[in-house]
Structure formats: structure tokens, C-alpha cells
A and B are shown apart, each in its own frame.
Chain A
Amino acid sequence: MIELCQNDILSWVLFLPLAFAALLAVLPGSAKTLLCWTAFAASVVVFAVSLSLWCGFIPGEAGMQFTIHKPWIEQWGVSYHLGIDGISLLLILLTTFLTPVVILSTWSGVKKNIKGFLILLLVLETGMLGAFMALDLVLFYFFWEVMLIPMYLLIGVWGHERRIYAAIKFVLYTMVGSLLMLVAFLYLFWIGKESLGYFTTDLLQLYRVAVPYHAQFWLFASFALAFAIKVPMFPFHTWLPDAHVEAPAAGSVILAGILLKMGTYGFIRFAMPLFPAASQAFTPVILTLAVIGIIYGALVAMVQPDLKKLVAYSSVSHLGFVMLGLYTLTSTGVTGGVYQMLNHGISTGALFLICGILYERRHTRLIDQFGGLSSRMPLLAVFFLLATLSSIGLPGLNGFVGEFLILIGTYGSAHPGYVFFAATGVILSAVYMLWMFRRVMFGPLDNPQNRKIADLSFREVMVLLPVTVMMFWMGLFPGMFLSRITPSVEKFIDQYNRKLELVQSVETVKSPLEHRVVFGPRGGSER
């Protein structure tokens, strides 16, 4: 029995949340306590099962582990192909770790239809896990889009005043990007068929296809657009502040903690290894956008009067760091980028949880409505300070490791100049985060509404404690995480460079803008 489970462990992790969501669906909607406990227990069970991935994972091995490969739609060569390497392992654990935290945090915040809310959270978990596990492009797209529906409903139904606008904007931005990526998928399958001789949608097989450069250019562009919207990279980030501000606290945590990682994960898993030559050509563009994102995000965050918007823009800045790390294409830099994805999930997740806790008490997100809260909420002040420092990147906490690796990696890469801008971003992040913390927590307690504010309840401590423990753990013992990431990252870089040489040896790389596609109707005889 255990042997059987071992083989299909990924399927178990993937579909357990969905099964629990179905269980919740048949429970009565009025039994709020029952629903909350069931959902919480369910997510803890999923986390426990996913921990077996951590235990069973062989750290030194770079390739895919726990793979499941079954035919799904045989006519199209689409298979149910799951597998994880060091990169996706940690992102999966991040997902299963944050979900119970988020569910616990919603118990008092969500006032209406909590049943629907919890079901959607669990469905969303399945979608996110599937996207991290999928090794088949159609399967990946399947889960990628499945995530969209629950997130849209979470924002639109349980969000704040302008929630409908934010929800529709979120969906349309994502849809445009991902549908163009779908066409790119189809084109890639076609090229794969010409080159391999059979039609396949399997990622590992498509890795072997040397895509001609002129095709790579357009394919990479559409992949990159879809992922850049999700990251979000400057200038495709405008949906993010709206979505974050209007989403309920739990939605914001999931959105910042995990959904944004889909974009960066997409780059490292799909866009870069599939089309290295085009990726290479785009490197200056992406690096520039990344540092613009870092500095722009930081500057805009600084002047935000709205707490959630500030954290949202800080996400833009942090994700710029991740992109910078990925595009250093050095082992250190990419590892740092992956590590920073996890850090951002933990620390920004914590910040949004705290925003939610404050909003629940005061029903406002405006920073100047607060002030001097530390005397009333000493417990929160501790957690808040730790989250802030982690986000800034104080040594000893997790944020430092990621940023440090990225900066080192950038310095050692082909583009060391960008270190200057990135380092500026680090300083700016200290400025806006600490300033924000001071305005909220310190200073005179002059707003009378803040006098009666209550400190954290036991449940809220339990929400923030695991996240804070993770901050220390990842900051003090990064080795146990890095040892799992690094082999996969090195394999990624090795693969990337080998494929780059392959394509370059076949044809000389032209400037990207010299290529064009044929537009307009074509007669039947043309082929």
C-alpha cells in the first residue's frame, strides 16, 4: 500500500486539495466552525503529505524525480506527466505551507459565504501545485488557467470596494498573455513535430528540439509576455496593485506568495531553456526591465499612502530581483533568484497577513490612520518588525541570503553593471519599509480609534508564528535548501548553454528585429 502511494505521491499531493474541496462542498454552509476546521485540517494533511516529497527527494540529483507518466489525450500526444526537481520541490512546499496559514488567517476575516471561499482556496491550491508539477505543456497550460478562475472569484466576491474592476483587470491581463502563449505552444509543437518526427507536447522531449532562431524570437516573445505579466515585470505590472489592494487578505497572500512565482518559474522552466538563443538576445531588455522594476517599484512604494499598495509595489521591486538573478545565468545568481522566490513568498506573505490583521481591526489600509500601534499591540509589533526586516534583507533572516546571492551572481555574470542599480534597490527597500513601519507602529498614538485596538489573538499568533520561524530557518540554515536547488540550477544552466551553442552553430544569430512573420490570408497551395 505504502509502495503504491510512493509511486503516485505527486498525484496524491496534487489532487488531495481538490478531494477535500469536494468534501467541503457537501458540508452544510451554515456550520462555519466545522467548515473552517475541516479546511484547515485538510490543508495540514496536504502539507504533511507534501513533506514526504522533501524526505524522499534525493538532494544531489538534478533531474526530475517522482515522475508520473501516463497517456492522457493520446491523439494529440498529450500525457499526464508530472515530476519535480529542486526548483519546483521548494515551490510546491511553499504552496502547501502557505495554504494552511492562509486558511487559518481567514477564519474571522471572511464574513460571508466562507464555504465558497474555502473551497476556492483548495481548488486554487490544486491549480498551483499542478502548474509547478506539470512536465507537459498542455497539462501546464491546463493548470495555469485553472488557477485563474478561483483567484478571480476570490478577488471579485470577497474583495474590497473596487473589487470587480480589479478582478476583471486581473483576468483580462492574464488571459491575453496566456492565450498568446497558447499560440506559441501550438507553433512549438509544430516545430517539434518537424524536428522530432512525431507530435508531442512533452516538455522534456521538446527541450531536445533545436528551434530555429527566427522562430525562437517570436516564441520567446510570447512566452515572455505571458510570464512577464504574471511576474509582473515593469511595464506589465499595473494589474498587480489593483488586484492586491482589492483582494481579501488571504487572496493577497496567495497572489503575492505563490501566483507571482508562476511567472518567474515559467521563465526558468519554459521560456529560457526552450529558447535560449532568443532569451540571450532579449537579455539586455529583460535585465533593464528588471532593474527598472526594482527601482521603480521601490520609489512608487515609498510614496504610497495605502499599506497594501506599498507592499504590492515592493513585490514589483522584489520580483525584479528574482528576474535579475535568473538572467545572470550563473549558478550563484540563478540559485539566489530561486531562493528569493521562496523568500518573497514567506516575507511578503507575512506582510499581507499583517495588513489583513490590521484591516480587520480598523477597516482601513491607510498608513496615516495608524501610528503608535506598538504600545497597544506589542506582539504584532514583533512579528511585523521581523517581516519588515526579512523583506529588507537583514542578515540572519531569509531575505538576505537571496539578495546577497543575486548580487554576487550578477557581479560575476556577463553584465556586472546592473549590480549598481540592484544595490540601490536594496537601500531603497530599507528606506520605504522602515519608514512605513515607523509610521504604523511608532510615533504618538494620536488616532483615538487606535486606542482600543486589541493585540493578536492566539489564532493570529499561530498564523504568524510558522511564517516567522521559516524566516529564521531559511536565513540561518540556507544550506539545506540550497543543496536541493543548486544541482537543478546547474543542470538548467548547463542545458541552456549547450542548447545555445547548438542553435548558434546551426545558424548565425541575426538581430531580433530583422525577422518578420507572414500576415494575411494564404491560399491552399502555399505551404
Chain B
Amino acid sequence: MTGFPSISWNLLLPQIVLLSTALFLLLLAVIYRGGGRSRGATVAGAVFSLLGLGVAAFMALAQYDTVADTFGAMLRLDPFSTFFTLLIIGGAALCVLLSVREAGGLKAMAGEYYALLIFSVLGMVVMVTAADLLVIFIGLETMSLAVYILVGIGGERENGAEGSLKYFLIGAFASAFLIYGIALLLGTTGTTRLDGIASGLNLAEGGSLQLVAVALVLIGFLFKIAAVPFHMWAPDAYEGAPTPITAFMAVAVKASAFAVLLRVLNVSLLPLADYWLPVMWTLAVLTMTVGNLAAIFQGNIKRMLAYSSIAHAGYLLVALASIDPAAAGVGNDPAMASVLFYLTVYTLMNVGAFGVLIYLGGGGRQMETLEQIKGTGFRYPLLGVAMTVFMFSLAGIPPTGGFLGKFYVFSAAVNRGLISLAIIGVLNSAASAYYYIRVTVQMYMRQSDEQLPGLPFSLPLAAAVLLALYGVFQLGIAPSDLLTAADRAVLFLR
């Protein structure tokens, strides 16, 4: 007769809250009296999602300073995981705001939509708190399965199913890589625990099989962040998905995958840094260049933002390539902190850009291609200004957060002497300015062919766009608080 194992349930409160919210939303979809697709159900779903996310964020905030292992040290709670928990929940909450208008016209009921969203947030939060590769895998699958469905959930879109299927097949492929890598690591190091792997790595004995294992695990994660050459799914999935889900994938999925990548690289794979640093260098160059070049030729803004999100993954990989293995334990590494800062800024500016696109589409006209947004800048002045700010932020022009994010990442690269990488990065940045600016060209400098309709006011959309706008300026002008938080968070990574 064994007693209760000591599990600090209170540390898991955010996850428990998220799970309960998701289950509740699932029931709400079927028991809502007005019908699962009614306006009431849509609003109720959004309200309860925000409530759940808010409570979970509050719980996470309350344990901001906690450093603890729980669940037999399968989960690890530290400022790093809390930082990402908050970032993911924040990004998801913004996406919920973006969804209120869209969630009405879907194949699924509104409640199901929100439930899937919260389930995937749950998976992400598990991922970023995991201290064991298997738990990471469980979180990753929870997240992915929900997102696969969300991609294909769109109403009249014909390419939703295509994007969803592509994403599912390639995602399953990536999961197979990951689980195979985990199995090989278990075989060669005797553990799947992140900290155990570091001590178990022994190239002299384990030999090339360990390298293969590490490569497979990394490939699994690189698929999720859409690094070139593992990016093929991204444009189709982004284009086919309902726009709020596109935003959600671009920000939350990417953030959680980068969180895991950072943790695995730093906690488990630091002894192999000499092997993966050059790989990250190469991937960064490839990802930035391919993403930016492809984005230049896109006429559909969602697709363009998909390629731009690939390019941004490239900038983040620059930071990963600049990690200093020697800095372990002697203070914070700017390369790692810059990832956290960049992802936060990226979340805000991307959600903002997609929010403007959704808002523009509110007048009964699709607003997804460069052709369609002609002349919208002066017709809808506030949206025009907001979109301009987001585009300039994505291009990395001050006074926006996007500039300081790039500044931080490239300064980390130069700090490590990777000048050529920084130069390739800034040249890419200049190329990216071309297609971001083209959006403003279309909005302000060309005339619309037809009369542009008035747009119905939407409070949640306006709130999301304004919050993102505020955040982008806040981080571009007074970033100190976030920098402190990021510096602190990465201290606990080793």
C-alpha cells in the first residue's frame, strides 16, 4: 500500500485550468441552447476561452519566481517555462480576439473551435514546461493534432482541406523523426531526461549513432518552426487556414517550438555544440534567404506572411547559431535572451498584421491579396496606420519593436564574431523591406477599382489590433522590462 506520491499540484494549476476550460468548451458546443453555430455560441465560446486563458495566465504569473520540479521531475517549472507559458497564453488570447468574427462561419461549431485552440495551448504549455523528451513529445502531439484540425476547419475555403492534409502528413512525418530520435537517444544514453542526456552523451562510445539521434530529434523540431528545408507545409497550411488560426500558428506554435529547441539545445545538447552550431548557421542562412526570396513573389498576403514567418524563423536561428557554449553558468547569453525578446515582438506584430487583414475583410469583401487591398489606407485611416506600423516593424525599422528585436539578434551574432552571418541577415532584412513596403504601397499609393464598403465595427478585433499596436511601440521605445524578464528567464536554462 503506497501513499500519495508527492506531486505539487499547485504548480500544475495553469495546465489544469486550461484542460478544464477546453473540456468545458467542448460541452458548451453541444449544449448551447441557441445552437452551436449561433452568434451567442461564438461570443460565449470566446468569453469562456478568454476567461480560462486569463485564469491560467494569472496562475502562471503567480508562480513567476518559482523554480521547481514536479511529476517525478518530468515537468520543470522555472522563469523560462513561465515566460513562454505567458507568451503563448497571451498570443492565444489575442488570436481568440481575432476569432470572434470568423468563428461563426466554420465547418465546426464555435465551441469546438475554441476547445481545439485551448487544447493546443495546453499542449504547448506542457511542451515548454517539460523536462523529458517524452513529455515534450506528448505536448507536441497534443498541440499538433489540434492545430491540424484547426487548419482545415475553415468554412467556404476549398484549400483548407489541402493545407490541413499537407500539414498533417508532413507533421506526422516529423513526429516520426522525433520519436525515432528519442528512441535512439534512449538507447545510446540510457535516458530521455533532458539533463540526463547531457551527461549520457559520449561520442567516443556512443559514436555516430548519437549524432544520428540528435539530428533526428532536431529535425523533428525544425519541422515545427518551418526552417528551410523543412518548410514546405507552411505556405499551404497558412493560406488554407482561417486567418486567426494562421496568426495562431505563426506565433504560438513557433514560440513553443523555439522554447523547446532552446531548452533541448542548452540543457541536453551543449556538449555537442561544436556539431550543431555550424548546422544552425547554415540553416539560418537558408531559412532567411529562401523565406525572403519566396515572399517577394507572393500576391496573397497570407501566403506572403507565411514566407515572412519562415524568414523570421531564420532570424531566430541566427540567434541559435550565436549561442555561446562557454557562457554556460557564467551569466546570461544575449543570444538566448534575444530569442525570447524577438518572439514576443514577433507575436505582437504578426497578430496585429493578421488582425488588420481580418478587419479589412469585414465589409463582405475578401481582403487577402495585394490587389484587393488597393486604396484601403486612406479609406480606413486607422487600419492603414496600424498596418503600416506592423509592416515596418516586420521589416525592422524603428521606432518599432521589430527593430530592437533584430538589433538584439544581430548584436548577439556579432558578439560571437559571426559577422558574415549578421551581414547576410541584414541584407535579407533589406530584401524583406521590399515586400513589406509593397503592402503600404498598395494601401496608400494605388486607387481601388471599386467603391470600398464601410466596415462594421468589431470591438474584439479593434482591441486585439490596438493591443498589438501598443505592444509594438512599447517594445520599440521602452523595452527594458521585457529585456530584464528575458535575461532572467534564460539564466535558468542550464
Contact = CB atoms under 8 A, between A and B. Distances in A.
B437 A179 contact: no
Contact of B426 (A73, A157, A182): A182
Contacts of B441: 156, 164, 167-168
Contact of A519 (B399, B420, B429, B437): B420
A132 interface: no
Contacts of A22: none
A140 B479 CA distance: 17
Interface in B150-188: none
B345 to A, nearest CB: 14
A526 B274 CA distance: 9
A184 to B, nearest CB: 9
B62 interface: no
B300 to A, nearest CB: 20
B433 interface: yes
Given A73-B479, A168-B441, A145 B398 contact: yes
| Residues of A in contact with B, size category | 35 or more
Nearest to B384: A116
A179 B414 CA distance: 14
Given A146-B399, A183-B410, A524-B274, A167 B445 contact: yes
B414 to A, nearest CB: 4
Contact of B273 (A171, A172, A524): A524
A172 B398 contact: no
B399 A523 contact: no
A371 to B, nearest CB: 34
B10 interface: no
A521 B282 contact: yes
B425 to A, nearest CB: 8
Contacts of B473: none
B398 A183 contact: no
B398 A146 contact: yes
Nearest to A525: B274
Contact of A517 (B325, B408, B419, B429): B419
Nearest to A182: B426
Contacts of B484: 75
Given A138-B407, A525-B274, A172 B434 contact: yes
Given A183-B410, A183-B423, A187-B414, A164 B445 contact: yes
A175 B483 contact: no
Consensus secondary structure, chain B interface: helix
B458 interface: no
Nearest to B445: A156
Nearest to A180: B426
B430 interface: yes
Interface in B461-493: 479-480, 483-484, 487
B288 to A, nearest CB: 13
Interface in A333-367: none
B297 to A, nearest CB: 16
A111 interface: no
B489 to A, nearest CB: 13
B419 A149 contact: no
Nearest to A163: B445
Given A146-B398, A176-B427, A179-B427, A520 B420 contact: yes
Contacts of A322: none
B245 to A, nearest CB: 31
A459 B366 CA distance: 47
Interface in A503-527: 517-527
Interface in A106-164: 113, 116, 138, 141-143, 145-146, 148-149, 152-153, 156-157, 163-164
Given A75-B487, A168-B434, 10 more contacts: A138-B407, A146-B399, A156-B440, A156-B445, A171-B433, A179-B427, A183-B426, A190-B415, A524-B277, A524-B323
29 contacts: A73-B404, A73-B483, A75-B480, A75-B487, A142-B398, A145-B397, A149-B388, A152-B437, A164-B446, A168-B434, A168-B437, A168-B438, A176-B430, A179-B426, A179-B429, A182-B410, A183-B410, A183-B422, A190-B415, A518-B419, A520-B420, A521-B278, A521-B282, A523-B274, A523-B278, A524-B273, A524-B324, A525-B274, A527-B326
Q: Lowest 5 A-B CB distances belong to which pairs?
A: A179-B426, A521-B281, A186-B414, A524-B273, A521-B278
Interface of A: 73-76, 113, 116, 138, 141-143, 145-146, 148-149, 152-153, 156-157, 163-164, 167-168, 171-172, 175-176, 179-180, 182-183, 186-187, 189-190, 517-527
